[in-house]
Amino acid sequence: MIKQLKYLKPLEWILVGVIVLLLVAQVYCNLALPECLSDILKMVQSVIATQELKPIVMKSLEMLGYVGGILVCTIVVSYLTSLVITNLMARVRGKVFEKVNNFSMNEINKFSIASLITRSTNDITQLQQVFVLVLNFGVTAPITAIIAIIKIVRVASNLTLVNVASVLLLVLVVVFVFVVAVPKFKKIQKKIDNLNLVTRENLTGLKVVRANSAEHLQEEKFEKVNSDLTKMERFVQRVMAVIDPAIMLIMSGTSLAIVWLTAYLFGNDIFAIANIGEITQYSMQIIFAFLTLSMLFMFVPRGMVSAKRVNEILDTKSSLLDGKGNIISKEQGTVVFDDVSFKYPDADEYVLEHVSFTAKPSETIAFIGSTGSGKSTLINLLPRFYDCTEGGVYLDGVNVKDYTLHDLHEKIGYVPQRGVLFRGSVTENICYGNEKATEEDITNALKIAQADFVYSLEGGLDYQISQGGTNVSGGQKQRLSIARAIVRNPEVFIFDDSFSALDYKTDKTLRAKLNKHTQNATKLIVAQRIGTIMNADQIIVLDEGKVVGHGKHKQLLKTCPVYKEIALSQLSQEEL
């Protein structure tokens, strides 16, 4: 938790100091009230005799002054604490978001998306609540306990044992709760991860769930994780519920013991009776102080669990590190894979083995193969979504690892198989990778991508795309994603099966216009359709991560059985 404090600004450290001073002032005012009350009770006998009310009135006004001080300190402390801690956690949340944005797919898969969401939201919220408790009560509770104990010893040292016994009983209750409940906090956070995972999976695959009438299966999955979380939360709450009645019993017993012992020891001495109220209030404040400290000892471990989970993100180093940058190359659009092999971290099997090819500017390189042959993995090595295990990937004669990630991605226009759109207008989505794009650039890109349907939508370019692009079809999402890549005007285009949702006519027209518009750009295309790649300058056939064919369409029909088999499964001999 302490590691989070490095994100406090200098001014906020000053505010923390102000908060501590105000809390000390609040404790002083709070502890002055019992003494004032005792003084008033001691004045009663003399007031009755002299009929002089002024001393009691003055003492009462003094009490009101202390109450006013407590009120002001409480309000100011609450405001400043909220200001400081909320800003601190907002900064931490921003750092977590920034860190996750720079993660490679390896790190994202390591944590899981559901866990990253929980850590970015629920864990930081837990941490925020604990920080507020620590800043408020971590100062007041120990000071209150120490000063109250000193005052009781000063007023009636022979009653000190009552408070010692009360505190010991309280500690026993808290230790019991601490030992039984605190270890469950970490498990609760993991169960929240599981709940988020099932919820996210259900919402993402809602169409598939409904199409297969599998709502009951999803409900059973949710019921299981929800029930596990509920049982754990219920257990913790039941254990925590022991605290309130135990504390009330200890407080009531302490008050009763003080009154009984005072009466037994001092009889009807008016000064002893006056001290009963003072001692009782100090005793209650000691118990509350230790109770508060005990609650902190229970909540801080929960904050520690959340802090550890947040720190795991902040301390994780991305496997994708920026290169030295400032690279000047005479080449533009040349892509070279030199004896590239790749396997996922902690995996034994290679996904790709000894892949080599060269793509020159203006060339179209196509990749085809059966499902799981490594096509998408191969092209994901160029923008460094993963780094190759062996060999080298070069862009413009420079190893991609030597570029900064920003400079590398500026050279590439990437279109995934599943079109991804963001909430906002069509214009905002098209200009996502090129904020300087003009309206003419946008119009031209939409025309090339066969996305003229935009102008028939309500508002045209201002039409609001919903989150995830749920208000446009799959084919429309793909075309808008292609338009977004075109607007970037990159050196290299990567199309990861990006034409799969298009009909043959649209596919053909789009590719013809794309080739005309991007004559100088290198195009890497992953496709399942033979018709999409027949005219490519090079076709690379993959099978189980290995290159089993490399050449043009007609050449591969003669020399590559795997390619011929795929081709004949889609088109007739005459069409081929």
Which residue, among 389, 388, 433, 408, has the nearest Cα to 322 in the 3D structure?
A: 408
Taking residue 413's Cβ as centre, other Cβ atoms within 10 Å add up to 25
**Structure-block tokens of residue 474:** 């799959």
CA dist., res. 177 & res. 242, Å (int): 8
pLDDT, tens digit only, all 576 positions of the chain: 888 888 898 888 999 999 999 999 999 998 888 888 877 777 776 666 677 778 888 888 999 999 999 999 999 999 999 999 999 999 999 999 988 888 877 888 888 887 888 888 888 998 999 999 888 888 888 888 888 888 877 776 666 777 778 778 877 877 787 788 777 877 887 888 888 888 888 877 777 888 778 888 888 888 999 999 999 888 888 887 777 788 778 777 877 877 777 667 665 555 566 667 777 788 778 878 877 877 787 778 778 888 988 999 999 887 777 778 777 777 788 999 999 999 887 778 889 999 999 999 889 999 998 888 889 899 999 998 888 989 999 999 899 998 888 888 889 999 888 878 888 898 988 888 788 888 888 999 999 988 888 888 888 888 898 877 888 888 888 889 999 999 988 999 999 888 877 888 888 888 888 888 888 899 999 988 888 888 889 999 999 889 999 999 889 988 999 988 888 888 777 776
CA dist., res. 485 & res. 310, Å (int): 34
The fold of 8-315 is ABC transporter transmembrane region fold (1.20.1560)
Q: Which residues pair with 526 in a beta bridge?
A: 367, 496
CA dist., res. 4 & res. 310, Å (int): 9
Name residue, tokens 């598939």.
Answer: 208
* Sheet containing 412-415: order of strands: 412-415, 492-496, 522-526, 364-369, 538-543, 546-551
Residue 509 to residues 418, 486, 533, Cα–Cα distance (Å): 20, 15, 14
Tell me the per-residue pLDDT of 179-200, one tens digit each, with 9 for 90 and over: 887 778 778 878 888 888 888 8
CATH class of 418-489: alpha beta
3-state secondary structure at position 338: strand
Instruction: Calculate Rg over the CA atoms of the chain.
Output: 36
8-315 and 332-411+490-576, same CATH topology: no
Q: Contacts from 268-271 at CB under 8 Å and sequence distance 24+?
A: 270/41, 270/42, 270/44, 270/45, 271/42
Residue 416 to residues 380, 493, 495, Cα–Cα distance (Å): 10, 11, 6
pLDDT on residue 356? 93
Task: Give me the CATH code for the 332-411+490-576 domain, please.
Answer: 3.40.50.300
pLDDT on residue 270? 55
pLDDT on residue 273? 62
pLDDT on residue 240? 75
Which residue, among 335, 397, 338, 334, has the nearest Cα to 547 in the 3D structure?
A: 338
- List the domain boundaries for the chain: 8-315, 332-411+490-576, 418-489
